[in-house]
Amino acid sequence: MSTPTFKRIPVDQFEKLLDKFPFKRQINAVHMHHTWRPGRADFKGHDTIVSMWRFHTQTQGWRDIAQHITIDPQGFIWLGRNWNLPPASASGHNGNEKFGPFMFEMIGNFDIGHDPFDGAQRDAALQVIDLVQSRFELAPNTLMFHNAMSTKSCPGGSLNYSEILAGVKACKEARQAVGDASRGAPKDTFPDEQNLLVADAITALSRTPAGAGEPADAELSHHEQQDMEAPPSGRSTARDSGLGAAALAALRPHLVNLSQGRFSGEGEAATTPADVDTLFEQHLPKALDKAKKSGHKLRLLFYAHGGLVSESSGLQIATKHIDWWKQNDIYPIYFIWETGLFETIGNLLKRAQQGAARGMGRDLFDFTSDPLIEVTARALQGPRIWGGMKSSAEHAVDQPSTSNPNGGGAWYVANRLNEFCKGKGDDIELHAVGHSAGSIFHCHFLPLARLLGAPTFTSAYFLAPAVRVDTFKEHLEKKIGKGEVVEKLTLFTMKKDYERDDNCARVYRKSLLYLIYYALENKRSTPVLGLEESLRGDGGLKTLFKLDGTRTGLGDVVWSPTLSDTGASASQSQTHGGFDDDAPTMNSVARRILNRADADKIVEYATARGVTPSAREWTDEVDWPEELRLPASQEALRPAFNGAAASSATPYRQPHAATPAAHTGAGRRRALCVGINRYPTPEHRLAGCVADAQMWADALTRLGFTASLLLDEQATREAIDRELLALVNSSVAGDVIVFQYAGHGTHVPDLNGDDEDGEDEALCPVDFATGHLYIDDDVAAAFARIPDGVNMTCFMDCCHSGTNSRFAVGAPPSGGSSAGKDERKRYVIATPDIVDAHRRFREKSGGRQRAASSGGISLMRDVKFAACLDAEVAWESDGHGEFTRRATRVLTAGIDGLTNKEFAQRVIADFGISTRQHPMLDCAPDASTRHLLQPTRQNAAGGASASSESAATSGALDSAMLAQTLGSIQQLLAKLASQ
């Protein structure tokens, strides 16, 4: 593959090129990225662009450079990929060669504390957005930050979306004003030269590289991109935080780097006793003077990250947080404590996975791997490894000795803290945050600091604490209150079902806390402070954290995810490692430290990895061995679609690891579950749809289905259409398939004249506000492909989800029965902007053709259960859809011999007489008497008898599985003991 030459042009030539380029592809959005690495200072002109091209084509395997253009620090534009090809921008958002986004990337790292987004580069970026949106008549909100489509910080944590839109608007107004003033003015002085330049640029952009198109999930990986050149000899990129000398120097007044409890003399940010002396003798006195002049206390925050975090990741965490804390008048000091555990646990899980897989067959492994991983991890000295990590926290508070004159690093800091605070009275206020194993560190550091004479810590916050309950009780439980070690302690941790739905490196399918609970402590089932069952199972903790109903304790618990994402008691993290990058959690901690009310203004935390930090796993912070980064088991566990395109939906893993019920019949049982809470516009957001999708996936998995999930930002129109078509197209006679949807519904004008009432009903994917609605015509087109003999059942928890009649908004509930509930309608009114965007999208995608007719209700090929009648509203309350809550309850109670009609009747009965919504069954008349979620008669083994056979064999299958599992464990342990 020959290396292309990339042309550089100024913005005014870009405008002319944009106007004259022969677009065959309709642009529907503008995607904005930064390089992260290289930063601005690393830019070397054409060599850097070529290095990016090499990385994308040779390392990533793409056919060309990912982006359509690149904007350099001087504001020049470098041409890139053919504008008629979709970019490699973000998984599920790349479009195709007919329509999709225009993508640009800016050279620089615009995360907080790094490159400034200013000058000619900022001006060029704003003008590019304005020109592309104007060229294709796009609404302002068609600008998409990469972090709105992914779990990355791109295009930078310092960039504010609203400010960017305001800047684009100003550019548009200035351009229009210049256009008005220049009407009648002479044209270009050298038109032939300009035309030649544009023609040359068009030629460069029209190259068609060899090779197939990128996969649908192609996505720029900025953290791997680095500077696209080989690392210096002897230095591992896995250890490199990506911070330059200037950034590290700026961090140093806030860092204490420890290794095995002592000051770390190696690594990127080595700390010596002299560095700590400088912190307390120079930096903190200056900070105190500044605080006093501003009329407030010096708030010192001591932060300890999790024990599975490497030095490089610890530095990145500190980089993300420190400027934000300082903007809120909080001075942070970060303990970067290297434990060595990040590699060891990775290898432990890898070996445990291999041992478990050797001990049993593939199908059995799918449902019993966690117990084997736990047993194997224990046999492979997991408790010793975990104990070594905990010893790092214990040795950090060692007193000085002959062999260690400075003592542990935390002891040295605590002693200097005491000296600094003497005589300063109320001018200083102390606070602490510990994430995961950081809670273990603080259980030792906080009592020591108080013992050495430091003031009482005003507050402490443990995020997903991994400390043992008995360790917490020994060191901290009785030392909370006025004049004690800490006045008040708040825990932020996940509810039990979310802990069970997390995973460790996709090998162990529960959270890290459960791996500790079952496998990494010396005694199995050792209570851990962050687990709900451990908190509720201890009387003293129940009183301390107000879980016994008395409300007299000095502690608080914020259970994530909360119904609200704002205020001092909000958290949305749904993974163990996500709390430190979850904006609601971080903002809640800041509000509590600042003693600010929910409505008071603070500097809001900008999620560094995007709008879905809850999707981030703790493994993202770990420098895992290469073999563990994408375990082979992950592909083996992915649901197969008979040669269909690879799915981007997430394979579902049951929170409770229950064995699916056995089933018989000729075909497979598969489900696609969709749930959307986090719509981009705040007024559209819901609170129960993701939990609904997970509840349906859980219930269906127990019935023998393989379920895949599309949640929040995953659930774009493109993704829903692709996954639904894959589900339908890959089905064969005898299969049972399910489509479940929880989210908003709406209705828009009918554009093709196939609806008598002049309106189309529509599901609202996460990107619906840009016109990407999934209308009834789309659903009909997908369902028209259902093969004969396939049972397709739909569960739709949204408004107007029954027939294709016009929807009427119902009245809100009345009376006192709903007091205290978070209740929301799953319906969006289609504003004129949404309708216009829908019209443009349909015109660009050729979507005005009439949908294939189903032939009327008698020939319906699917069975649909709807949440409400057409004239009613589908409601959600307290974190679940009211239809889903009742329908899954009926489902899990047992469906043997139950017909579709009888299932609908039971759900309706569960709502009771006085209800505001009435579920309905919509299907062909003969389908109402068919058995629920069973193969159609002609393909099942005797129709209803198939269910009977399933029930008869399930007990025997459970016994056989248990016997085989126990045998496998015994064989595995014997083999390990002999090694």
- DSSP secondary structure code for residue 257 in this structure: E
Tokens found for residue 751: 């554009």
Residue 933: closest CA among 567, 695, 663: 663
**Residues 6+ positions from 232 with CB-CB distance below 8 Å:** none
Structure token digits, residue 811: 């009245």
Do 101 and 143 touch, CB atoms closer than 8 A?
no
171, 421, 799, 868: which is the annotated catalytic residue?
A: 799
* CA atoms of 719 and 715, how far apart (whole Å): 6
10 Å CB burial of residue 546 (0-12, 13-18, 19+) is: middle
- The residue behind tokens 């407030």 is 296
Beta strands in 174-329 (DSSP E): 255-259, 262-263, 298-304
Name the DSSP letter for residue 501: T
CB neighbours (10 Å) of residue 543? 16
Q: Parallel, antiparallel, or unpaired for β 880-881 and 875-877?
A: antiparallel
Cis omega (within 30 of 0) on the bond before 625? Answer: no
Strands 143-145 and 298-304: unpaired
Q: Are 240 and 231 in contact (CB under 8 A)?
A: yes
Active-site annotation holds for 435: no
Position of tokens 């064989």?
971
- Catalytic, 395? Answer no
Say which of 684, 744, 800, 880 is annotated catalytic. Answer: 744
- Strand segments (E) across 409-546: 428-435, 457-463, 489-494
Residue 88 one-letter amino acid = A
Contacts made by residues 40-48, CB under 8 angstroms, sequence distance 24+: 40/73, 40/107, 40/108, 40/109, 40/115, 40/121, 41/115, 41/244, 42/227, 43/72, 43/73, 43/107, 45/72, 46/5, 46/6, 46/8, 46/78, 48/107, 48/227, 48/228
Alpha-carbon distance 140 to 748, whole Å? 21
Q: CA angle, corner 498, sides to 494 and 501, nearest 5?
A: 145
DSSP 13-52: HHHHHHHHS---SEEEEEEEEE-SSS-GGG--THHHHHHH
Q: How far is CA 782 from CA 728, 747, 755, 779, 796, in A?
A: 7, 19, 18, 5, 16
Please give the Cα distance from 408 to 399 (Å, whole number).
6
- Residue 561: asked if its preceding bond is cis (omega within 30°), the reply is yes
Q: CA-CA distances (angstroms) from residue 628 to 233, 345, 436, 620, 859?
A: 24, 11, 22, 12, 50
Query: How many angstroms from the chain centroid is the CA of residue 226?
Result: 23
Residue 812 · residue 877 · CB < 8 Å: no
**Residues 431/301, Cβ–Cβ less than 8 Å:** yes
> DSSP strand E in 676-814: where?
706-711, 736-742, 745-749, 759-763, 774-775, 791-797
Classify burial at 129, counting beta carbons within 10 Å of its beta carbon; exposed 0-12, middle 13-18, buried 19 or more.
Answer: buried
Strand partners, 301: 332, 431
- What gap in Å lies between CA 931 and CA 613, rounded to an integer? 41
Instruction: Take residue 85 and report the two structure tokens written for it.
Output: 């090809």
DSSP label at residue 618: G
Task: Give me the active site residues, please.
Answer: 744, 799
